[in-house]
Every structure is written in C-alpha cells, then in structure tokens.
Structure 1
Amino acid sequence: MSQLLSLRDRKRAETWAALHLSASGTALDKGLECVTVDAVAADAGVSPRTFFNYFASKEDAVLGLQEPFVDESMLAEFDVDGDLLASVSHLMHAVTRTIHGSADENGNRCREVICKYPQLMHRRFQYIVKVEQLVTDAVAERLAPSSRWAAAPAGYNVEDVAKMLVLVAGAGLRFAIQKTMSHPTRESQSEALDQGMELMRNILKELL
C-alpha cells in the first residue's frame, strides 16, 4: 500500500511539474496571453478538467503555486516555551516553501515570471496571506495551553499574540529572502533568517 501511495505521489508530482513547466515556459517564451488551460493540459498529456485538480487558474500554473500546508515534521521542534520568535520564523519559512512544488522548490522560476509580469505579484501575495493564516492558527493552538502564554497581555488573546508573532516573523523572512535572492536555497535562507531575527532583536532593544 505504501509503495502504491508512493507511486501515486510521484505521478502527481510529475504531472504538477509538467503543467507548471509548460505554463511558465509558454509565458516566458511567447507571452502570458499565449498561455491557455487547453494548451497547457494537452502539453502535459492530461485533460483540461484534470488541470484544475492541480491549479486553480492558469496564473497559478504559470507561477507554480500550490496550497500551503503545515505538517507534523514542521512542528516537531516548535518550542512554545523557548525562543518563540525563532520557532515562529522557521515555521513561517517552512510553510512558505510549500507553496512552490518540487519542480521550483526555491521559487526561482516564479521570481523569473514575476520579474517579467509584475502584475502577477498580487497572486503570489494571496498565497502568502494563506501561509500567514495557517501559521497563525498553528501558533495560537500551541499558545493556548502554555502556562507562559495562557494569560495574554491585558486586552488581547492568544490569537492576537499569534498574529503579531507571525507579522514580526514575516518581516524577518522577507529580509532573508531579499538577502538570498541570488542563491535562495533552504539552507541559505534559514541562515539568513537567523541573522535577520538577531538584527531585529538588536534594533528593537535600541528602540525600546
């Protein structure tokens, strides 16, 4: 059964990649207006109906965007009673990477497309909003039973605290992405993220 699931997962990943590479390649080589669901599906050897099992729109296929997710492996080292800001920032990093499929794991092709068609930036931003909501929900769920965070600052609740943590962590993540634009690997971004969060802490100490 596990082998069968593995084959299914591999086939799904291959189809996703074929659709994305066809759509993005057409956009980059011929123009965004030349990308059609029918043509992309035919190029990948699937029906137009099947296309929508993988992408919500042709723009998503061009950008290589998929629904973000949180799994247990991402939460394994999440320490609500430790360095919470670091935990949230790395969780944000991990979940953000899930919006890109394996064919464009580091988002390089997505950036190339957005550079040529900046009007598509808003679509990627919509996925980042989904990431923020997923992470906010996950963080709030872990803050609630914590004796450290059960009593949120007066006038606020754990959802408010989680939302603020995600917004702060998001600033650090944007810093890391900008710093590693020329070499955006998981490792380089993670290292830059740690450096960015340390810089943020030092700046906040000066400000506060």
Structure 2
Amino acid sequence: MAQETAYQKVNIVDADGNLVSFSGDGGGGGSNASADKQDEQTALLTTIDSNVTTISSALADVAIATKQDEQTGILSLIQDDTSSLTELSEIKNIAIYINSDTANIASQTGIISEKLDDVLTALDNPATETTLLQVRDRLPVSAQLTPAYNSVSNSGTVSAGKTAIAVFNFGANAGTLNGVSFPSGARVGWEATGNNTLAAVTYDATGTTFLISTLG
C-alpha cells in the first residue's frame, strides 16, 4: 500500500485578518474562464472569416482586372491583325492592277511589234516606179499665178478663186466694199492660205477711185 504525502494546511486571510472561506463550488471559476476563452476564440474566428472574405473579394477583383487586361491585349492584337489584313488587301489590289496593266502593255507591245514588222517589210521591198508615180500624183500641183492691177471708178466684182486681193481708195470720196463704206485713203487686203482661195468681193467706186490688185 502506497504511502500518502502529507501537505501543510494553509489558511488564507484578507487584509483585515479575516479568514477567507471557499464554497464547495470550487470549479465554477474555471468554467467561467473557459467560457470567456471560447468567446474570445469565437470572436477571433469571426474576424478571421471576415478578413478571408475581404481577401477573397480582393483576389476576385484582381483576377477580373487581369482578365480584362488580357482581353484588351487580345483585342489589340486582333486590331493589329485587322490592319495587317487591310494592308495585305491593298497590296493584293495593287498586284491585280499591275497584272492588268502588264497585260495591257503586252497588248500594246504586240501592236507596236506588228507595225515594226510592216516597216521592216517595206524596207525590204523598196518603192517601185509605179508607187513613186502614185505618190507624185497625190502631191499638190504647183502653178504660176498671174498678178493683176486695175484702177476703177465704177461698181463691180472681183471674181472668186483669187489667192490674194488688195484694195486702195485713193480718190477724194468714200465708196463701198462688200456693202460697207470704204473711206478715202483706206487700204485693205486678203490672202488665202494653203490650197484655199478667196470668195468674191463686191465694190462700188462711183465718185471716187479704187486701186485693186489681185493674184491668181
């Protein structure tokens, strides 16, 4: 049989020397302490749970922002690719135009080649007497033109077909030329160009004197 250890008995007194007694419900204080501790732990858990919720919400916002950045980057890449596709389309159109223009140039080159072949053929076959006569017959025929010089004091007409006509009123009075008054001292002249000739000219030198010269 084990021997019990003897403990010294201690009496607890207050400041006035009165003996402090304890009730038999000695374990009540410990129960109250445990309850307070549980309340503290419950409050701490509540705080932790609230902080976890806040952190989770913040992480979700960060994830959303990151996703938006990724989507923005993807959209930017798509826009860049779209620009590249537009440039490629323009390049394709230019290539089509170049091909079309090249075909046109080839067609014109073919025509020029045919003309050059004709020239070479003509050089290989010099003109004959017959062809030279044909060319001569198509050239304008030269002729000697006869000048005429007349002094008139009446009315009349210079016939058509002349190459040059000149009129000078050296009389004292006015006359008419093609129905228009032609004063004293006035001069006028016409000359046809190329193979052309002049139309008829009417005059009235009554009461004055016209000097008329013609050619042709």
TM normalised by structure 2 equals 0.15
TM normalised by structure 1 equals 0.16
Is the radius of gyration larger for structure 1 or structure 2? 2
The answer to which structure has the higher helix fraction is: 1
